[in-house]
Protein backbone atom coordinates (compact mmCIF):
# COMPACT_ATOMS: atom_id res chain seq x y z
CA UNK A 1 0.00 0.00 0.00
CA UNK A 2 2.88 2.35 0.80
CA UNK A 3 4.29 1.71 -2.64
CA UNK A 4 1.02 2.67 -4.33
CA UNK A 5 0.83 5.93 -2.40
CA UNK A 6 4.46 6.68 -3.18
CA UNK A 7 3.91 5.98 -6.90
CA UNK A 8 0.77 8.15 -6.95
CA UNK A 9 2.59 10.99 -5.17
CA UNK A 10 5.55 10.83 -7.57
CA UNK A 11 3.23 10.84 -10.59
CA UNK A 12 1.47 13.94 -9.23
CA UNK A 13 4.81 15.68 -8.73
CA UNK A 14 5.90 14.71 -12.25
CA UNK A 15 2.69 16.13 -13.69
CA UNK A 16 3.18 19.39 -11.79
CA UNK A 17 6.80 19.74 -12.88
CA UNK A 18 5.93 19.10 -16.53
CA UNK A 19 3.08 21.62 -16.38
CA UNK A 20 5.35 24.30 -14.92
CA UNK A 21 8.09 23.76 -17.51
CA UNK A 22 5.81 23.85 -20.56
CA UNK A 23 5.97 27.26 -22.28
CA UNK A 24 2.79 29.07 -23.16
CA UNK A 25 2.75 29.36 -26.97
CA UNK A 26 0.50 31.76 -28.83
CA UNK A 27 -0.01 32.45 -32.49
CA UNK A 28 1.42 35.74 -33.67
CA UNK A 29 -0.52 37.28 -36.54
CA UNK A 30 1.24 37.92 -39.83
CA UNK A 31 1.61 41.68 -40.14
CA UNK A 32 2.42 41.44 -43.87
CA UNK A 33 -1.29 41.02 -44.55
CA UNK A 34 -3.37 44.18 -45.05
CA UNK A 35 -5.11 45.22 -41.79
CA UNK A 36 -8.56 44.38 -43.09
CA UNK A 37 -7.62 40.68 -43.39
CA UNK A 38 -5.72 40.32 -40.12
CA UNK A 39 -7.30 37.70 -37.89
CA UNK A 40 -9.52 36.41 -40.71
CA UNK A 41 -8.44 33.05 -42.06
CA UNK A 42 -9.53 33.00 -45.67
CA UNK A 43 -8.14 29.59 -46.57
CA UNK A 44 -5.65 26.96 -45.41
CA UNK A 45 -2.75 28.70 -47.13
CA UNK A 46 -3.04 31.74 -44.86
CA UNK A 47 0.20 32.30 -42.97
CA UNK A 48 -0.62 32.10 -39.26
CA UNK A 49 2.83 33.23 -38.20
CA UNK A 50 5.49 31.52 -36.10
CA UNK A 51 4.92 30.11 -32.64
CA UNK A 52 6.58 32.34 -30.10
CA UNK A 53 6.77 32.13 -26.34
CA UNK A 54 4.67 34.68 -24.49
CA UNK A 55 4.67 35.37 -20.74
CA UNK A 56 1.88 33.66 -18.86
CA UNK A 57 -1.13 35.89 -18.37
CA UNK A 58 -2.69 35.44 -14.95
CA UNK A 59 -6.44 35.13 -14.64
CA UNK A 60 -8.56 37.94 -13.30
CA UNK A 61 -7.81 38.12 -9.56
CA UNK A 62 -11.45 38.62 -8.52
CA UNK A 63 -12.93 35.77 -6.51
CA UNK A 64 -15.38 33.81 -8.64
CA UNK A 65 -17.71 31.91 -6.30
CA UNK A 66 -19.32 29.91 -9.11
CA UNK A 67 -15.98 28.71 -10.47
CA UNK A 68 -14.77 27.82 -6.98
CA UNK A 69 -18.00 25.90 -6.33
CA UNK A 70 -17.42 23.91 -9.53
CA UNK A 71 -13.90 23.07 -8.34
CA UNK A 72 -15.37 21.40 -5.25
CA UNK A 73 -17.33 18.81 -7.28
CA UNK A 74 -14.44 16.38 -7.91
CA UNK A 75 -13.07 16.37 -4.33
CA UNK A 76 -16.58 16.07 -2.88
CA UNK A 77 -17.36 13.15 -5.20
CA UNK A 78 -14.16 11.36 -4.23
CA UNK A 79 -14.90 12.00 -0.55
CA UNK A 80 -18.45 10.68 -1.05
CA UNK A 81 -17.09 7.45 -2.55
CA UNK A 82 -14.58 7.25 0.30
CA UNK A 83 -17.42 7.63 2.78
CA UNK A 84 -19.30 4.79 1.10
CA UNK A 85 -16.29 2.50 1.46
CA UNK A 86 -15.75 3.70 5.03
CA UNK A 87 -19.38 2.98 5.89
CA UNK A 88 -19.17 -0.46 4.31
CA UNK A 89 -15.95 -1.12 6.23
CA UNK A 90 -17.63 -0.22 9.52
CA UNK A 91 -20.73 -2.24 8.62
CA UNK A 92 -18.55 -5.31 8.01
CA UNK A 93 -17.04 -4.76 11.46
CA UNK A 94 -20.05 -3.86 13.59
CA UNK A 95 -23.17 -4.83 11.63
CA UNK A 96 -22.19 -8.12 10.06
CA UNK A 97 -25.62 -9.65 10.73
CA UNK A 98 -27.39 -6.82 8.87
CA UNK A 99 -24.95 -7.15 5.96
CA UNK A 100 -25.63 -10.88 5.57
CA UNK A 101 -29.39 -10.36 5.89
CA UNK A 102 -29.23 -7.84 3.06
CA UNK A 103 -26.85 -9.98 0.98
CA UNK A 104 -27.61 -13.62 1.88
CA UNK A 105 -25.60 -15.07 -1.02
CA UNK A 106 -22.41 -13.15 -0.23
CA UNK A 107 -19.29 -15.28 0.01
CA UNK A 108 -18.53 -15.49 3.74
CA UNK A 109 -14.91 -16.43 3.11
CA UNK A 110 -14.44 -12.97 1.54
CA UNK A 111 -16.96 -10.78 3.39
CA UNK A 112 -16.96 -12.16 6.96
CA UNK A 113 -13.91 -10.71 8.72
CA UNK A 114 -13.96 -13.35 11.45
CA UNK A 115 -12.84 -15.97 8.88
CA UNK A 116 -11.59 -13.89 5.94
CA UNK A 117 -8.29 -13.08 7.65
CA UNK A 118 -7.15 -16.58 6.60
CA UNK A 119 -7.27 -15.52 2.93
CA UNK A 120 -4.01 -13.62 3.11
CA UNK A 121 -2.18 -16.81 4.07
CA UNK A 122 -3.48 -19.23 1.47
CA UNK A 123 -4.37 -16.91 -1.45
CA UNK A 124 -1.51 -15.48 -3.43
CA UNK A 125 -2.75 -11.93 -3.74
CA UNK A 126 -1.96 -8.63 -2.03
CA UNK A 127 -3.42 -8.21 1.44
CA UNK A 128 -5.51 -5.25 0.22
CA UNK A 129 -7.41 -7.59 -2.12
CA UNK A 130 -7.49 -10.71 0.05
CA UNK A 131 -10.73 -9.89 1.85
CA UNK A 132 -13.46 -7.27 1.93
CA UNK A 133 -12.30 -5.80 5.24
CA UNK A 134 -8.87 -4.84 3.87
CA UNK A 135 -10.19 -3.89 0.43
CA UNK A 136 -12.77 -1.44 1.80
CA UNK A 137 -10.18 0.09 4.15
CA UNK A 138 -7.67 0.52 1.31
CA UNK A 139 -10.26 1.99 -1.06
CA UNK A 140 -11.44 4.32 1.71
CA UNK A 141 -7.92 5.64 2.36
CA UNK A 142 -6.95 5.97 -1.31
CA UNK A 143 -10.13 7.83 -2.25
CA UNK A 144 -9.87 10.18 0.73
CA UNK A 145 -6.21 10.88 -0.11
CA UNK A 146 -7.20 11.55 -3.74
CA UNK A 147 -9.91 13.95 -2.59
CA UNK A 148 -7.35 15.85 -0.53
CA UNK A 149 -4.88 16.04 -3.41
CA UNK A 150 -7.59 17.09 -5.86
CA UNK A 151 -8.66 19.86 -3.49
CA UNK A 152 -5.25 21.20 -2.45
CA UNK A 153 -3.19 21.15 -5.66
CA UNK A 154 -5.20 23.94 -7.37
CA UNK A 155 -5.06 26.03 -4.19
CA UNK A 156 -1.31 25.54 -3.79
CA UNK A 157 -0.54 26.37 -7.43
CA UNK A 158 -2.54 29.61 -7.27
CA UNK A 159 -1.32 30.75 -3.86
CA UNK A 160 0.96 33.60 -5.04
CA UNK A 161 -1.44 35.00 -7.61
CA UNK A 162 -4.58 34.52 -5.58
CA UNK A 163 -5.57 38.18 -5.22
CA UNK A 164 -6.78 39.44 -1.86
CA UNK A 165 -5.55 37.89 1.39
CA UNK A 166 -8.79 36.05 2.08
CA UNK A 167 -9.08 34.27 -1.32
CA UNK A 168 -6.93 31.25 -0.32
CA UNK A 169 -8.73 31.00 3.01
CA UNK A 170 -12.10 31.01 1.24
CA UNK A 171 -10.89 28.34 -1.20
CA UNK A 172 -9.63 26.15 1.64
CA UNK A 173 -12.88 26.62 3.56
CA UNK A 174 -15.00 25.72 0.51
CA UNK A 175 -12.93 22.63 -0.29
CA UNK A 176 -12.91 21.51 3.34
CA UNK A 177 -16.67 21.93 3.63
CA UNK A 178 -17.28 20.06 0.37
CA UNK A 179 -15.00 17.15 1.35
CA UNK A 180 -16.52 16.94 4.82
CA UNK A 181 -20.09 17.02 3.49
CA UNK A 182 -19.33 14.44 0.80
CA UNK A 183 -17.65 12.07 3.25
CA UNK A 184 -20.39 12.46 5.86
CA UNK A 185 -23.16 11.81 3.32
CA UNK A 186 -21.46 8.72 1.91
CA UNK A 187 -20.73 7.27 5.33
CA UNK A 188 -24.16 8.04 6.77
CA UNK A 189 -26.05 6.70 3.77
CA UNK A 190 -24.10 3.46 3.86
CA UNK A 191 -23.68 2.73 7.55
CA UNK A 192 -26.70 4.42 9.14
CA UNK A 193 -29.28 4.03 6.38
CA UNK A 194 -28.43 1.09 4.13
CA UNK A 195 -27.20 -1.17 6.96
CA UNK A 196 -29.63 0.15 9.58
CA UNK A 197 -30.49 -2.23 12.41
Domain positions in the chain are: 22-57, 61-197
Average pLDDT over residues 5-33: 52
Residue 187 and residue 91 in contact, taking contact as beta carbons nearer than 8 Å: no
The pLDDT of residue 197 is 82
Average pLDDT over residues 94-120: 86
Please measure the distance between the N-terminal and C-terminal CA atoms of the chain and give it in whole angstroms: 33
The pLDDT of residue 61 is 61
- Residues 163 and 183: their CA atoms lie apart, in Å, by 30
Average pLDDT over residues 94-115: 88
Inform me whether the pLDDT recorded for 20 exceeds 70.
Answer: no
Residue 56 and residue 124 in contact, taking contact as beta carbons nearer than 8 Å: no
- Comparing 56-60, 68-72, 127-131, 137-141, the range with the smallest average pLDDT is 56-60
| pTM of the complete model | 0.65
Average pLDDT over residues 2-14: 60
Amino acid sequence: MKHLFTLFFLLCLLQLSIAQQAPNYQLVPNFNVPPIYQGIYLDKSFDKGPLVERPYSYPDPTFNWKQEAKRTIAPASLAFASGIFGGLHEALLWRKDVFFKRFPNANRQYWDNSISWENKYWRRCPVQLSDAYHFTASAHHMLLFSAGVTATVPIATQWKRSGKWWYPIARIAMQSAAISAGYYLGSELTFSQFFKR
